[in-house]
Amino acid sequence: MLPRAADIVLTLGHSQEACPLNLAPTSSTTATLALGDALAVALVHARNFTSEDFALSHPAGALGRQLLTRVEDLMHTKSEDLPLIHQQAPLQQALFTMSAGRLGMTVVTDDSDKVVGVFTDGDLRRGLEKGIDLQTPMNEVMVSNPRHISKTMRASDALSVMNENGISQLLIIDDEDRLEAVITVHDLLQAGVK
């Protein structure tokens, strides 16, 4: 009855089931699944379906979340008292700033509050191993030109930037080179970003 009402019929024919009694659907379900997969792939090509289209159709699913979550959805903003330190401040002061900020780093700024560097807990460990003086000014120990990204970047792309560069934090800097926000690898992983 149903085939007569349809415009197009895709028939799989009749095959014997793998069940020894030929009762439980085994071979037929596998063939139907394969046909469904083939149709889905053909439609993706025919309609130029993109990953963004998929995300919009499945926003709550794991793949949709992966494609729709942006850095701005997860970042720590200035309203959260981000860890900032002046470039002339001693390293010892950075220890307190980093501990209070709880992001594993501090952002180094100049007299105009422009970002000039970053100093991470990894930089601290490496410095202590070399016997660095805790009175050393930050501009002598910071990493200049830290990596920064746009807040509209996909969170999954931010994770890729971190992985490619072996870093755990990224800055979001405004048009005037001032810190807007920070995102960490922990933020991304906690949100299920892969």
Indicate which CATH number applies to the domain containing 163: 3.10.580.10
Name residue, tokens 């016997």: 131
Instruction: Determine phi and psi for 18, rounding to 5 degrees.
Output: -75, -20
Q: Say yes or no: 86 and 177 in one domain.
A: yes
Share of the chain above pLDDT 70, in %: 99
Nearest to 139 by CA among 72, 85, 83, 59: 85
Confirm whether 66 is domain-assigned: no
Confirm whether 154 is domain-assigned: yes
Which tens digits make up the pLDDT trace of 126-135? Answer: 999 999 999 9
Residue pair 193/159 in contact (Cβ under 8 Å)? The answer is yes
Q: How far is CA 111 from the centre of its chain?
A: 32
pLDDT band at residue 67 under the 50/70/90 scheme: confident
Number of domains the chain contains: 2
Rg (CA), the chain: 27
* CA separation, residue 26 to residues 11, 16, 21, 39, 53 (Å): 17, 9, 11, 20, 33
3-state secondary structure of 129: helix
Query: Against a cut of 0.95, is the pTM above it?
Result: no
CB atoms within 10 A of CB 76: 19
Q: Please check the confidence at residue 194 and state whether its pLDDT lies above 80.
A: yes
Confirm whether 108 is domain-assigned: yes
What is the crossing angle of helices 121-129 and 91-101, to 10°? 140
**Structural domain boundaries, residue 27:** 2-49
